């Protein structure tokens, strides 16, 4: 089996006008942008100051990774990263429903998603590092080293909350969403890494009702003052 | 005609936008300088991908090169930055300004690896320090605490 999930055949949401390889990169970029946005919602209100700093920093790194993926896709599509991040309609985003969920102010759910996401993302990044496309493999390598700090943070919290009922319930409810982050052939590895059985996944095709309000807030300046620079 | 050496010297005078005590050359973000006629091509590699200082660095480098009378072309290198690229001079300047330099080697993969690293307090020199937060005010820094002089300090992450 090829480790390179950028060479997979077109998915159900592919649009004829955008090449498949760029679509695949947009999935990664959109996941990181939307999750980065969700993580940033903890800025100022995390349970304690250390986590306020942690989630703000993680959000910044995820959005930095999104920018790097958007820049790569933009080269192929002849546009720029900001246009891809902010000028598409919310229906055209390719993120998984998993990252759309607004989980503030529930800390147990936030940590559950953080841990599931980082565990799944590690599997995905490993595959991307073996991509035939040197730009993709190179960027995945850079991202992987930065993500190590996110994984350490997520593992530390998952370990601390492992016996807590609210945390295990959050894992149960988010698990089908987490599976939807990965290609089908990568999901066994996520089961193995998390010790959870395969269930029906919430796939990356539609969007939850939670994306639209986020999109409206995120693109507000861009939409109200096209071309604004600051 | 400008020489590569002159360009390196000019870039070595640009302070890092977030830690002005060290220059872009000290930090190892400048990878390569190539001069072709009146054109200078700089390959640089920002510390973290989410570093908000990237555009400021890029603009400052272009400005200095223009001052030397050459046209600047600033490109991001394919290869990523590693904290081992910080020069010995850069490490010394970091410590003098209250930042513990990064532990050498590859990025850690477990909390244990980070906890096992002996980190010296940049204020009193004690190694009786502990990790307070993996994350800090910028993506490239963690927060530590010195149990000896009771001073929190920032540690450059190993990347």
The DSSP secondary-structure symbol of A178 reads H
Q: Which domain holds residue B38?
A: 4-76
Within 8 A of B48 by CB-CB distance, chain A residues are: 61, 64, 146
Question: Is residue B92 in a domain?
Answer: no
Please tell me the pTM assigned to this model: 0.91
Within 8 A of A138 by CB-CB distance, chain B residues are: 78-80
Beta bridge partners of B144: B131, B153
User: For residue B62, what is the domain's CATH number?
Assistant: 3.30.300.130
pLDDT band at A14 (very low <50, low <70, confident <90, very high): very low
Residue tagged 């009771």 (tokens): B150
Preceding peptide of A105 cis, ω within 30°: yes
Contacts for A84 with CB less than 8 Å, ≥ 6 apart: A26, A29, A70, A73, A74, A77
On the question of pLDDT at A16 being above 70, the answer is no
Q: What is the ipTM of this complex?
A: 0.90
* Averaged pLDDT, A79-101: 96
Within 8 A of A75 by CB-CB distance, chain B residues are: none
Question: Is residue B83 in a domain?
Answer: no
Within 8 A of A58 by CB-CB distance, chain B residues are: 135
Question: Is residue B13 in a domain?
Answer: yes
Please name the residue ranges forming H helices in B17-122. Answer: 24-27, 54-67, 88-96, 111-116
Extract the residue ranges of chain B whose pLDDT is less than 50: none
Contacts for A87 with CB less than 8 Å, ≥ 6 apart: A219, A222
Q: Where are the domains of chain A?
A: 19-224
Could you report the per-residue pLDDT of A95-145, keeping only the tens digit for each? 999 999 999 999 999 999 999 999 999 999 999 999 999 999 999 999 999
Residue tagged 């890092």 (tokens): B16
In this structure, the answer to whether residues B10 and B68 fall within a common structural domain is yes
In this structure, the answer to whether residues B8 and B53 fall within a common structural domain is yes
> CA of B111: which chain A residue's CA is closest?
A152
> CA of B131: which chain A residue's CA is closest?
A50
**What was the pLDDT predicted at A10?**
37
Work out the angle at residue A58's Cα, subtended by the Cα atoms of residues A11 and A38, and round it to the nearest 5 degrees.
Answer: 60
Question: Is residue B72 in a domain?
Answer: yes
In this structure, the answer to whether residues B149 and B109 fall within a common structural domain is yes
Q: Give the percent of chain A with pLDDT over 70.
A: 93
Work out the angle at residue A75's Cα, subtended by the Cα atoms of residues B34 and A38, and round it to the nearest 5 degrees.
Answer: 110
**What was the pLDDT predicted at A230?**
67
> CA of B132: which chain A residue's CA is closest?
A50
> CA of A72: which chain B residue's CA is closest?
B78
In this structure, the answer to whether residues B9 and B72 fall within a common structural domain is yes
CA of B114, closest CA in chain A: separation in Å? 10
> CA of B135: which chain A residue's CA is closest?
A54
Question: Which of A50, A135, A145 lies closest to B159 in CB terms?
Answer: A145
Domain stops at, among B76, B109, B129: B76
CA of B83, closest CA in chain A: separation in Å? 11
Question: Which of A60, A67, A149 lies closest to B157 in CB terms?
Answer: A149
What CATH topology corresponds to A19-224? Ferritin (1.20.1260)
The tally of domains found in chain B comes to 2
In this structure, the answer to whether residues B58 and B115 fall within a common structural domain is no
Question: Which of A63, A145, A155 lies closest to B50 in CB terms?
Answer: A63
Substitution target from A43, A74, A145, A159 for chain B, most B beta carbons within 10 A:
A145
């Amino acid at each position: 089996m090829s480790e390179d999930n950028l060479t997979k055949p077109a998915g159900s949401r592919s649009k004829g006008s955008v090449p498949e390889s760029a679509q695949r990169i947009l999935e990664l970029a959109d996941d990181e942008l939307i999750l980065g946005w969700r993580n940033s919602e903890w800025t100022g209100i995390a349970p304690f100051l250390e986590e306020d700093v942690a989630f703000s920093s993680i959000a910044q790194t995820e959005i930095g990774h999104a920018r790097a993926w958007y820049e790569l896709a933009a080269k192929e599509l002849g546009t720029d990263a900001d246009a891809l991040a902010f000028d598409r309609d919310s229906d055209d985003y390719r993120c998984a429903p998993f990252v759309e969920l607004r989980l503030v102010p529930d800390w147990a759910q936030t940590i559950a998603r953080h841990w599931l996401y980082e565990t799944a993302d590690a599997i995905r990044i490993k595959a991307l590092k073996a991509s035939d496309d040197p730009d993709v493999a190179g960027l995945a390598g850079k991202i992987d080293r930065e993500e190590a700090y996110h994984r350490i943070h997520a593992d530390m919290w998952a370990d601390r909350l492992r016996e807590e009922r609210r945390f295990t319930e959050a894992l149960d409810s988010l698990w089908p969403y987490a599976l939807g982050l990965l290609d089908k052939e990568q999901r066994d590895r996520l089961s193995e890494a998390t010790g959870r059985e395969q269930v029906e996944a919430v796939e990356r095709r539609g969007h939850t009702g939670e994306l639209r309000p986020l999109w409206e807030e995120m693109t507000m300046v861009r939409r109200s003052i096209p071309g604004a620079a600051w | 005609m400008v020489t590569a050496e002159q360009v390196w010297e000019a870039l070595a005078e640009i302070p890092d936008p977030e830690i002005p005590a060290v220059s872009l050359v000290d930090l190892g973000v400048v990878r390569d300088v190539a001069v072709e006629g009146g054109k200078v091509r700089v390959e640089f590699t920002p510390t973290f991908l989410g570093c908000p200082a990237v555009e400021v660095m890029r603009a400052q480098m272009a400005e200095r090169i223009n001052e030397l009378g050459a046209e600047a072309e600033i490109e991001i290198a394919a290869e990523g930055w590693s904290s081992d690229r910080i020069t010995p001079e850069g490490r010394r300047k970091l410590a003098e300004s209250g930042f513990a330099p990064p532990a050498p080697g590859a990025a850690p993969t477990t909390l244990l690896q980070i906890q096992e690293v002996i980190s010296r307090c940049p204020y009193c020199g004690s190694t009786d320090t502990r990790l307070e937060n993996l994350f800090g005010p910028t993506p490239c820094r963690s927060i530590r605490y010195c149990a000896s002089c009771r001073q929190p300090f920032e540690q450059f992450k190993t990347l």
